[in-house]
Amino acid sequence: MRKRIKRMALLFGVLILILGSLPMMINAVASPIVDYQTHIQNVGWEADTDVGWRSNGEESGTSGRGLRLEGIKIALNEASGYNLGITYQTHIQNIGWEGSTDRGWKNDGEMSGTSGLSYRLEAIQIELTGEDASNFDVYYQVHAENFGWLGWAKNGESAGTAGYGYRLEAIRIQIVPRGSGAPSVVSALPFYDKNAPPPAIGKLKVHFIDVGQADSILIQQGTHAMLIDAGNNEDSELVANYLSNQGVAQLDCVIGTHPHEDHIGGLDYVINRFEIEEIYLPEVYGTTKSFEDVMTAIQDNNLTISAPVIGEQFDLGSAECTILGPVAWDSSELNTYSIVIRVDFGENSFLFTGDAEAINESAMIAKGMNLEADVLKVGHHGSYTSTSQAFLDTVNPKTAVIPVGIDNDYGYPHNVVLNRLNKKGVNIFRTDLDGTIIATSDGATINFKVNQ
């Protein structure tokens, strides 16, 4: 408390200094003062350190050191002369919103959060109470792991993330006269709730690389990258150069959808040249030299193969990937082992099906999986053995991309599939006609560029 009294004296001096000269600043100083402190991992309560209580927009916590906040205390300065109180709650790891539990909201300097359990705080809500509450807005913002400073929230709105488990690393709080606006705009990023669509930060870029009669798809989100298939053996350098030209040095995830050469042919070359965090292959063996080369490259680089687990989710930056296949494979057809993956970015979604066939499609529908997607990577190069009417109706894509070679031996894409797509009014892109196709999503809309 000694520190707070000292600061009041200082503020008084400042008030006298600026009286009559800067009317806007008088307003700011005349607002009630909010004092707050956080309990920081490895540090403890700030008031027990040299830092002391913070007030009026100062940062409490550590925005640069990445230490989690475990508790907060907020108090109004009693000398401010207003009939005001302050109430607040935190969203705590393993507990959720305190107000939804026996803990309830906290008031006027009480501890919210956990200072002993070491659970991270993930979000906060703050409201003013009392007769004068309607004259003021309380603004607050948080520094959240992976996001940085989020935008200002006010008067009971949520700030932070709920359900994502990102720790709070710092907070700022300020009270201003009602309607005078946020103290300053730092970031427009809002509160994120896991029940809402995943947050889209930056752009998601999906490159359908023109590798002729084969598949290779690069997906980039921020500094993160994933490769689905790597074309034929003869595409090895093309794919590797394409990745390098996009600034990719490291791949968070590589997926070899199934052991056919037109999908894993260039994979050994990629594995030997890029740092790879995780590699997924279906649980089936190929008998070809191409497949053996991939196995050798995996061994040489000390990688461990991850088997696809249906329903498994992982993040690619702020995009969310979900493994949907293979289900209902047929041991006489390698295509039916194709790994199927869905990528959600904000409100946009992409479905990548490898060479999955109609039996896989109907099994996924039967399982009630969420297959709806804005963009469908058409299965098996547009073969009639994939893209059944029921599947197309369920996915209901706006755009279809067909990786397919000019004058290929198989007559892909088959007319029956093209007709199905056209009848539904789906936009079609084909690598044989459009070259490399790049889809860019900002989380709300998707733009396509061809011949890239």
Count of alpha carbons within 13 angstroms of residue 422, beta-carbon side: 8
String of DSSP letters for 102-155: TT--EETT-EEE-SSS-PPEEEEEEEEESTTGGGEEEEEEEEETTTEEPPPEET
Query: Which of these segments, 123-131, 254-262, 279-287, 408-416, binds Zn ion (CB under 5 A)?
Result: 254-262
Q: How far is the CB of 258 from Zn ion (least distance, A)?
A: 8
Q: Interface mask (CB under 5 A) for Zn ion, residues 393-432, using x and -? A: ----------------------------------------
Q: How far is the CB of 60 from Zn ion (least distance, A)?
A: 56
Q: How far is the CB of 263 from Zn ion (least distance, A)?
A: 5
Based on CB atoms, which residue is closest to Zn ion, 235 or 252? 235
Residues 6+ apart with CB under 8 A from 91: 97, 98, 121, 122, 123, 124, 158, 160, 162
Query: Which of these segments, 27-35, 72-80, 110-118, 353-361, binds Zn ion (CB under 5 A)?
Result: 353-361
Based on CB atoms, which residue is closest to Zn ion, 61 or 282? 282
Would strands 106-107 and 60-61 be described as parallel, antiparallel, or unpaired? unpaired
Based on CB atoms, which residue is closest to Zn ion, 320 or 355? 355
Based on CB atoms, which residue is closest to Zn ion, 31 or 386? 386
Query: Which of these segments, 26-34, 140-148, 243-251, 257-265, binds Zn ion (CB under 5 A)?
Result: 257-265
Q: How far is the CB of 228 from Zn ion (least distance, A)?
A: 12
Q: How far is the CB of 403 from Zn ion (least distance, A)?
A: 8
Query: Which of these segments, 46-54, 178-186, 355-363, 439-447, binds Zn ion (CB under 5 A)?
Result: 355-363
- Site residues for Zn ion, 36-55, by CB under 5 A, read none
Q: How far is the CB of 426 from Zn ion (least distance, A)?
A: 20
CA distances for 108 relative to 34, 74, 127, angstroms = 10, 6, 11
- Work out the angle at residue 112's Cα, subtended by the Cα atoms of residues 110 and 115, and round it to the nearest 5 degrees: 105
Based on CB atoms, which residue is closest to Zn ion, 262 or 357? 262
Based on CB atoms, which residue is closest to Zn ion, 72 or 255? 255
Based on CB atoms, which residue is closest to Zn ion, 39 or 260? 260
Tell me the C-alpha distance between 40 and 46, whole Å.
Answer: 7
Q: Interface mask (CB under 5 A) for Zn ion, residues 258-277, using x and -? A: ----x---------------
String of DSSP letters for 373-427: -SEEE-GGGG-TTS--HHHHHHH--SEEEE---TT-TT-PSPHHHHHHHHHTT-E
Query: Which of these segments, 227-235, 348-356, 399-407, 414-422, binds Zn ion (CB under 5 A)?
Result: 348-356
Based on CB atoms, which residue is closest to Zn ion, 56 or 353? 353
- Work out the angle at residue 175's Cα, subtended by the Cα atoms of residues 82 and 181, and round it to the nearest 5 degrees: 125
Interhelix angle 23-30/2-18, rounded to 10 degrees, is: 160
Task: Tell me which H or E stretch contains 11.
Answer: helix 2-18
Q: How far is the CB of 248 from Zn ion (least distance, A)?
A: 23
The letter for the amino acid at 7 is: R
Based on CB atoms, which residue is closest to Zn ion, 92 or 378? 378
Tell me the C-alpha distance between 210 and 424, whole Å.
Answer: 25
- Residue 355 interacts with Zn ion (CB under 5 A): yes or no: yes
Based on CB atoms, which residue is closest to Zn ion, 278 or 333? 333
Q: How far is the CB of 357 from Zn ion (least distance, A)?
A: 11
Q: How far is the CB of 145 from Zn ion (least distance, A)?
A: 40
The letter for the amino acid at 201 is: I
Cβ–Cβ under 8 Å, residues 388 and 424: no
Q: How far is the CB of 341 from Zn ion (least distance, A)?
A: 16
Tell me the C-alpha distance between 415 and 397, whole Å.
Answer: 18
At 89 the three-state DSSP class reads strand
Tell me the C-alpha distance between 315 and 225, whole Å.
Answer: 11
Q: How far is the CB of 261 from Zn ion (least distance, A)?
A: 9
Phi, psi of 80 (to 5 degrees): -75, -15
Based on CB atoms, which residue is closest to Zn ion, 93 or 216? 216
Tell me the C-alpha distance between 230 and 281, whole Å.
Answer: 13
At 86 the three-state DSSP class reads strand
Based on CB atoms, which residue is closest to Zn ion, 346 or 403? 403
What ranges make up the beta strands (E) of 178-229? 192-193, 204-208, 217-221, 224-228
Q: How far is the CB of 72 from Zn ion (least distance, A)?
A: 55
Q: Interface mask (CB under 5 A) for Zn ion, residues 108-127, using x and -? A: --------------------
Site size toward Zn ion (CB under 5 A) is: 2
Q: Interface mask (CB under 5 A) for Zn ion, residues 279-308, using x and -? A: ------------------------------
Provide the binding-site residues for Zn ion, judged by CB under 5 A: 262, 355
